[in-house]
Chain A
Amino acid sequence: MSHKLTDGGQVLHVGTLARVEGEGGMHIEIKDGHVGTVELRIFEPPRFYEAFLRGRAWTEPPDITARICGICPVAYQFSACLALEDACGVSVPDAIRTMRRLLYCGEWIESHALHIYLLHAPDFLGYPGAIEMAKDHPAVVERGLRLKKVGNQLMTAVGGRSVHPVNVKLGGFYRMPTVSELKSLRPALERGLEDALETVRLVSTFDFPDMEQPYTYLSLRPEQGYPIESGNVVTTAGTAFDVQDFNAHITEHHVAHSNALHARLDGGGPYVVGPLARYTLNFDRLSPLAQQAAREAGLGETCRNPFQSIIVRAVELVYVFDEAIRIIDAWRDGVAPSVAVPARAGQGFGATEAPRGVLFHRYRLDGDGTILDAQIVPPTSQNQPSIEADMRTLAERWVELSDHDLSHRCEAAIRNYDPCISCATHFLDLTVDRS
């Protein structure tokens, strides 16, 4: 919808930005064919997690911070665990780290399948949503739902349920899943791997606008494997640092048009976290099958087109299915479900790769484990400045398009990031102001 302003300018208004998690809006001002202010507005009401975590016990953040996001609760649980275990000087055994990776694979499968099929694909195939898309492409939507379901089944087996799993605690799990419980998932995971490969083939046929991002990419990189549940920070600017030095490199700013804080790297321009960053910085760590799928889809070892993030998500799906099957096949019963994490005074840092990018937690504890101070930096607030920069690039290039078409392009560009506005606080409402 568009209407005239009293000063002769024009405002285009596209209600709620749909198919994102949370609530936000977009504002673009165009004057004499030139793009002025571009703002991603986040209206999701603040919920003040960092404030009310103070005074809680050191054992509580995995359950409490899970509630920041229903789409990626495991990311919150494990970033919290790493930070609090770091504060208490505890490092969990490899077997527990492996089981965490398996639960996290479930969350990546669920979240990526949701985004690829239900939220993102309708942009490329020209439908308002997946339910409408299902009328013409029933097999495609069925495959998406089948993939999502396997992710949920894996999360339920390891975590008890897929939204806000109950089985995660500091030091590990309340109860380890057994070999027979895990093996029963294998047929569904094998089918899922086939579906994931089919997904890569499908999305690689989509029509992608020609666009290259110049931004710095930032992701974790562990000693082995593709980054999921651990790793140090690396960037395409050539910097590398430990998670505990996050605050020395990343600064957050509060801007008037958003209830999410904006993040900057080393005082410089915008940087990007998420699938494109992980892929570009860790292509060598993908399994041979995932690398082959990427090559067949026409991707190089780096990817700088944000619209192609849908292909990278599909390649990551292949990887996490591969990885989940590998972990399940190697799993043996008899592993202690957790190690003790006694409280001590100190500060701890933790970061993991949420499906949409690096999620950082920091906690400061007093001697009896009471939380004195908490800091959470979600992926969407780190991506916010880049989302705005992409909007500007698109608006400048397609300034001649009708408001309707430009709005569609811009919404799609926002969805490239799989933004979780619930995480970054939440709501998208697009306005283009032309004068």
Chain B
Amino acid sequence: MTALPKLAVWKFASCDGCQLTLLNCEDELMALAGQVEIAYFPEATRAVVEGPYDVSLVEGSVTTLDEIERIGQVREMSRHVVTIGACATSGGIQALRNFGDIAEFRSVVYAHPEYLSTLARSTPISAHVSVDFELRGCPIDKHQLLEVLSAYIQRRRPRIPTYSVCVECKRRGAVCVAVANGTPCLGPVTQAGCGALCPAFARGCYGCFGPQDTPNTSALADRLLELGMADDQVMRIYRTFNAASEPFRRESERHEAARNEEVLS
């Protein structure tokens, strides 16, 4: 009998929600435990099986010097590194610090900022080591997670679409909230994976799966301005859980500049 593939789950700066998504596979968890050896997963077990690991799932972004060192070790011990979620893939909500002054941030939250060790920017795992697959979402979708794990167990490419939320929304038969109600919606520029959840709940997509493949962020921004949003609001809608992803960062900075000009004139 061949040995089961060894799975490890690592945590960096994050909320634990993507790891929880693995534990939320209630119907599949025991079957999964028969297909892989859960070798390192401190949130679930204190048992540790030494590396190397076949698949490492990495949650969270890199925000400290220690974490830079640790992600290098994880890479060395792992055959495949798969990032799970917006933090690990784009820097997460904590990448809002990238647009501010970290020394000032520290002093706002903590009385003794000298006790802290933290970097000025929150960065995705791919900024430090090579990554084999990036799974999107804040949080990730459990069906996509199971697809990725199955793919690595079966030694094939994961089948994860890179088209926009709009495709899922049409397929679901949901009414377009932007066209029908004039609700600002990031669906046209956001990668699918959630099942067009927000439009199904009568709200606009807020981009938690990050930019789709080659998104036209500026065309959508123009439409948002036409719908009555100010530059400041357009800046903020692009600047949330995937604020540091390249297309969203560029678009938010464009509107930050426009807002600042408006304030000056």
In the complex, how many residues of chain A place their beta carbon closer than 8 angstroms to a beta carbon of chain B?
67
Whether A259 pairs with B201 at a CB distance below 8 angstroms is no
- In chain B, positions 1-44 with a C-beta closer than 8 Å to chain A are 11-21, 23-24, 26-27, 29-30, 33, 38, 41-44
Give, as a whole number of angstroms, the nearest-CB distance from A53 to chain B. 9
Whether A134 pairs with B30 at a CB distance below 8 angstroms is yes
A71 at the interface (CB under 8 A from B): yes
A18 at the interface (CB under 8 A from B): yes
B144 at the interface (CB under 8 A from A): no
For A48, the chain B residues whose CB sits under 8 A away are 94, 96-97, 102, 105-106, 108-109
Give, as a whole number of angstroms, the nearest-CB distance from B58 to chain A. 14
Interface string of A53-92 (1 = CB under 8 A from B): 0101100100110011111010000000000000000000
Which of B27, B64, B108, B112 has its CB near the most chain A CB atoms (within 10 A)? B108
- Which among A19-27, A270-278, A289-297 touches the partner chain? A19-27
B149 at the interface (CB under 8 A from A): no
- Which among A97-105, A146-154, A234-242, A328-336 touches the partner chain? A146-154
Interface string of B201-225 (1 = CB under 8 A from A): 1110010100000000000000000
For B92, the chain A residues whose CB sits under 8 A away are 67
- Which among B45-53, B124-132, B158-166, B247-255 touches the partner chain? B45-53
Whether A50 pairs with B109 at a CB distance below 8 angstroms is yes
Q: Report if A67-B109 is in contact (Cβ < 8 Å); known contacts: A18-B42, A149-B26, A259-B116.
A: no
Q: Report if A163-B20 is in contact (Cβ < 8 Å); known contacts: A45-B13, A52-B100, A422-B14.
A: yes
Whether B16 pairs with A162 at a CB distance below 8 angstroms is no
B63 at the interface (CB under 8 A from A): yes
In the complex, how many residues of chain B place their beta carbon closer than 8 angstroms to a beta carbon of chain A?
65
Give, as a whole number of angstroms, the nearest-CB distance from A17 to chain B. 8
Q: Report if A164-B138 is in contact (Cβ < 8 Å); known contacts: A19-B44, A130-B45.
A: yes
Whether B26 pairs with A145 at a CB distance below 8 angstroms is yes
Whether A70 pairs with B15 at a CB distance below 8 angstroms is yes
Whether B105 pairs with A51 at a CB distance below 8 angstroms is yes
**Complex: how many Å from CA A49 to CA B95?**
11
Whether B108 pairs with A19 at a CB distance below 8 angstroms is no
Whether A129 pairs with B110 at a CB distance below 8 angstroms is no
**Complex: how many Å from CA A422 to CA B46?**
18
Whether B197 pairs with A162 at a CB distance below 8 angstroms is no
Whether A69 pairs with B42 at a CB distance below 8 angstroms is no
Whether B240 pairs with A19 at a CB distance below 8 angstroms is no
Q: Report if A131-B240 is in contact (Cβ < 8 Å); known contacts: A70-B139, A254-B115.
A: no
B236 at the interface (CB under 8 A from A): yes
B178 at the interface (CB under 8 A from A): no
Whether A47 pairs with B13 at a CB distance below 8 angstroms is yes
B226 at the interface (CB under 8 A from A): no
Whether A254 pairs with B111 at a CB distance below 8 angstroms is yes
Give which listed residue, B18, B44, B118, contacts A46 with CB less than 8 A. B118
Nearest opposing residue in chain B for A374, CB measure: B108
- B positions within 8 Å CB-CB of A: 11-21, 23-24, 26-27, 29-30, 33, 38, 41-48, 63-64, 66-67, 92-94, 96-97, 100, 102, 104-106, 108-112, 115-116, 118, 122, 138-139, 194, 197-198, 200-203, 206, 208, 233, 236, 240-241
Supply 12 A–B pairs (Cβ within 8 Å), ascending by A: A16-B42, A18-B43, A21-B16, A47-B94, A63-B240, A129-B46, A131-B29, A152-B24, A160-B197, A164-B208, A254-B115, A426-B13
Given contacts A71-B20, A256-B115, 16 further A-B contacts (CB under 8 A): A19-B46, A45-B118, A46-B63, A47-B94, A49-B93, A63-B206, A67-B15, A69-B16, A69-B17, A73-B17, A118-B23, A128-B47, A145-B29, A161-B139, A163-B24, A259-B115
